[in-house]
Structure 1
Amino acid sequence: MAETSYRRIILHNIDRLYMRLPGDLDEKLAARRFGDDFHFDAFGERCRIHPDGISLGGLEEDGPRGVVVSLYALHAACEPCRHDPPVSFRDLPGSAPYVGAFKNRTENVLMPFVEDISEARDRLMAGLCGEPAPEGILNTADFSLRLHPLPKVGLTYLFYMPDEDFPPSVTCLYSKNAHCFMPTDALADVGEYTSRRILELLGILIE
C-alpha cells in the first residue's frame, strides 16, 4: 500500500498510543478489547485499532477518518459522553479559525438534502448509532437526529424544512463535553465526515 500523508500521521499516532498503552483504554474509548486490538463503531462502520493501524468496515483506513480515529484514541478519557445541553461548534475552545469551514462542510453541505434526510431519518439513525434528540432540544426545528460518529462524541443535528419564506437550514451541535475527548480541529473533522457519511447513506457522493 502506498503511504499517504494521512497514513503517516495515522501510523505516528498509533505508535505513540502503543508506546504507552493505557491499561484501561477500552473503558476510555468505550470499546471492546481483544488482546492489543480495540473494537468500536466509528462513522457508522466497524472500527478496529491495532498496533499496525486502523481499519474501518474491514478495510485498512489510510485517509482523514483514520486520522480522526487515531486522535480520538490518543485523547481518550474515562468520563462518559454528556450530551446535554449540547453546544455549538463556535462555543468549543479555540474554534474561531475553523468556524467558517465547519459551517460549509458540516451544515451547509446538507442543506439541499433536508427533505431527503427527513424521509430517511430512521435509516440514518440506524446507520450512525443515533436516536431522535430530546423534545426540549428541538426548539423550532422541524426534526432532529442525535448521532454518535464516535462512542463518546455525539452530534445533534437540527433540521429546518424549506417553506415559502425561508430556505432549508441545518444546525449541528456537539455533546456538552466533546472537547474532553479530542482537540477542536479534530472535532470539526468529526462534523464534516459525519455529514459526508449521511450523504453516503443517501447515495449522494460529494468531492
Structure 2
Amino acid sequence: MSEQSDFLDILLENHENMTEKQKKILEAAVETFSEKGYAATSTSEIAKKAGVAEGTIFRHYKTKKDLLLSIVAPTMAKLLAPFFIRDFNKVLLNDYGDFEDFLRAVIINRMEFAKKHMPILKICLQEIPFHPELKNQFIEHVFNKLIGRFKYIVESYQKKGQIIDIPPTSVMRLSASAIIGFILARTLLVPESEWDDEQEMERTIRFVVKGLSPDPK
C-alpha cells in the first residue's frame, strides 16, 4: 500500500457513508493539489483524474476551496497533529546533554517524517499561508501544543551556558529556519541533487550551534 493510500485510509476512516466516487475525488485532489498547487489546479483536472464528471465534484463540495478544506482541515486534526506531535515527542522528551545532539535528533526525526508524508505536507506548506482557516488549524493543533516544550528545552540549554541569552522564541525561529530549509531542500526542492545527507546535516548543525553559542569570555 502506498503512503498516499495510507493517508487516505486515515482521512476516510470516519466517513463510512462516503461513496467510491467521493473517495476517488479526494484521492485525485490530493495528488493534483500536491503536484500543481491549489491555485493552478482546476476542478476539471481533478474530475478527469478521478474519472467522474465535473458536476459530481460540485454535488459534494460547493467550491474548490471546500474540497481543499475537506482534505487539509481533518488531516491537520486527525493525521498531521497526532502523528507530528507523537513522533516528535520521541525527540522532545529525551534528555540530550548537548544542544548539538538535540539538533541532530530533530533533523533526523523530521526528515523521516517529511519523506513519509510528503504529498499532504506539500499541500499544507503551499496553502496554509494563504488560507486563514488552515493557519488557525495549524496554530491550534500543532504550534500551540509544541511551543511550551520547545521553550522549556531552549531555556534548559541556556542555563547550561550552551545557548546565548536571547528570547527562546528567537532561538526557535533561528534554529527552525536552518533546519526546515535543509529538510525542504532535500525532500522537496532538489530531491534529486547528489549531496551527502550526513555531511550537509552536520554543516547545518554547526551553523546553528555556532550562531547561537555564547561568545567565549
- Tell me whether the two structures share a fold, i.e. TM-score over 0.5: no
Which has the larger share of helix? Answer: 2
Q: Which has the larger radius of gyration?
A: 2
TM-score (norm 2): 0.24
TM-score (norm 1): 0.25
